[in-house]
Amino acid sequence: MRHVRMAVMAALAAGMGMAAPADAQREDFRWSGQVARGQAIEVHGISGDVDARPASGDRVEVVGRFTGRDADRLRVEVVQREGRTIICTVYPGNGGTGRGTSPCGNGGGGNGRMNATVNYTVRVPAGVRLVASTVSGDVRADDLRGDVRANTVSGDVRVGTSETASATTVSGDVDVTFGAMSGNTTFSTVSGDVTVRAGDRVNAEVTATTVSGDIDGDFGVERNQSRSPGNRTAHGQIGRGGSRVRISTVNGDINVERAN
């Protein structure tokens, strides 16, 4: 009889759509607020992408979409600091914002063993600085009108802004179009290609280095073979020079172009 009762209960559960989902279902994280021109919105993920686009108005909007069977164990923190609004993914055992050496805490809690992801979509008004980072995922920032700093560890970085930019990854490609300079900047990866397109307001000295790859450019950059076999370094100038742009990869090609 016990086996019969269990079979009946299983059949009823299936008929009522009560089967447990493979992934935990969780409501999206949402935040919206005013961030003044010149101030920063920072979005720091751990597992998942960060995708930034222009805002239609003057408010920053952030949506975080949770996926994975352990998604209900994650939380997202929002912290306001002077000139910065910081949004962080926090895993169980992580110190949280304001603790540890990074904005998202000390990174503890064994999050690498969890099946959980937060993918962020960010709407950024003109003049607001964006800082976007993740550990495992891509970072994209398209058609922005403010300074951008983007980085990941395992993933691609793509940035398009009319203002200044910096972008780094360890395993992935870097593709950046930027329109202005305010100080020095870096575009780098370890395993991947780097493409940089500079706008008319960019004036900088360029140093490009690759160990295994080629260097091409639109600025009369001469490729010089170093003494180490396979290690190539090139120097050039964008516009009037002045600030410094450093571009590097270990295993990949570098291309420097004038933005259309």
Confidence of residue 217 (pLDDT cuts 50, 70, 90): confident
Task: Say if CB 218 and CB 255 are below 8 A apart.
Answer: no
How many Cβ atoms are within 10 Å of 148's Cβ, its own excluded? 24
Q: How much is the average pLDDT of 129-140? A: 97
Domain locations along the chain: 23-158, 164-260
How many Cβ atoms are within 10 Å of 167's Cβ, its own excluded? 27
pLDDT of residue 241: 87
What is the tens place of the pLDDT at every residue in 140-185? 999 999 999 999 999 999 999 999 999 999 999 999 999 999 899 9
Q: Tell me the C-alpha distance between 93 and 147, whole Å.
A: 33
Q: 6 pLDDT exceeds 50? A: no
pLDDT of residue 227: 46
Is the sign of the CA dihedral 12, 14, 17, 18 positive or negative?
positive
pTM of the model: 0.84
Q: Tell me the C-alpha distance between 199 and 177, whole Å.
A: 8
- Rounded to 10 degrees, what is the CA torsion of 211, 217, 222, 224? 0
Q: Tell me the C-alpha distance between 64 and 43, whole Å.
A: 10
Q: How much is the average pLDDT of 107-133? A: 85
Angle value at C-alpha 150, between 147 and 155, nearest 5 degrees:
155
Q: 5 pLDDT exceeds 70? A: no
Q: 25 pLDDT exceeds 90? A: no
Higher pLDDT, 7 or 29: 29
Q: How much is the average pLDDT of 219-244? A: 73
pLDDT of residue 198: 95
Q: Tell me the C-alpha distance between 168 and 82, whole Å.
A: 25
Confidence of residue 105 (pLDDT cuts 50, 70, 90): low
The residue type at 167: A
